[in-house]
Structure 1
């Protein structure tokens, strides 16, 4: 059994929906072995209420989330990151800060549920679909024998997960 606690950062542009969902999902599923954070390249300053209601519908905590800059995770006081995942195409194409500790990075792009236009019920459905995709990817990652793989194999596996 691996004793390490992995630090994971989910990055998006606004840090209001997808990265928030991923943070909540990883903190729940990876309890004890993973601590997840989220941030944005250009944070919106608010968390999308549909992201919070989706977490609530999944019976996950909804307190403590805030839209914040990825710069918070690039400074000397930041946790040493083991993994950084971009969950939107815009953030994947941007020049990221230099992350302390040389974390494994991968793109796990999912469509932006906040960009969907429709009724509240339709929006809730799109947010849940996004959460289900992220949850599946997180579960696949958590199933990896990280303590038995070298860095190159881990990098290859987490990048492959982003295509599923």
Structure 2
């Protein structure tokens, strides 16, 4: 018997960098078990070009992403979320919408690569570092035997990924 696909929403304030990277990475690595989404509390309206370049450098899909509000996933008719994961400290501290069905929530905070200063190389390195951290965390998520764990155990494991 195959495990059902789980929906994961990655949230960041601007939905232009970290949450887009997380969506793209999970989309690539876990598409057989997960459907990835991303959104922001105050979306920038555009995906950061270095986020797309980073996905491309990793040989992942680098098109079709857009910066959007988390409100799209809190309204009637939106996909039911099994996991809601914040990837920036600011979004983690905001009052989130009420997610139907009480999804498992976690905070996987990391520095904003879009805020990196310096040369083009230094800025790209910040995006690559964020992507590598997110990839490692997503690989931990993918390693969890979700069908065999109780909800509270899953909650604990997914939250702990953010501190690894």
User: Which bracket does the TM-score occupy, shorter chain normalised?
Assistant: over 0.9
Match of 2:94 in 1: 94
- Taking structure 1 as reference, are residues 84 and 126 closer, same or farther at Cα in structure 2, changes over 3 Å only? same
CA apart distance, 1:149: 0.3
Q: Deviations over 1:61-92 (max 9, x none)?
A: 11110000000000111100000000000000
1:81 lines up with 2:81 in the alignment: yes
Q: Deviations over 1:13-69 (max 9, x none)?
A: 000000000000001110211000000000000100000000000001111100000
Match of 1:41 in 2: 41
Taking structure 1 as the reference length, what is the TM-score of the superposition?
0.98
CA apart distance, 1:106: 0.2
Q: Which runs of 4+ in 1 moved over 3 A?
A: none
Asked if structure 2 preserves the Cα contact closer than 8 Å seen for 1:45 and 1:66, the reply is yes
- C-alpha distance in 1 between matches for 2:112 and 2:17: 8
Taking structure 2 as the reference length, what is the TM-score of the superposition?
0.98
CA apart distance, 1:127: 0.4
- Number of residue pairs matched by the alignment: 164
Q: Which runs of 5+ in 1 are unaligned?
A: none
Question: Equivalences for 1:51-70 in 2 at 5 Å?
Answer: 51-70=51-70
CA RMSD of aligned residues (A): 0.7
Question: Equivalences for 1:77-156 in 2 at 5 Å?
Answer: 77-156=77-156
Asked if structure 1 preserves the Cα contact closer than 8 Å seen for 2:3 and 2:147, the reply is no
CA apart distance, 1:102: 1.0
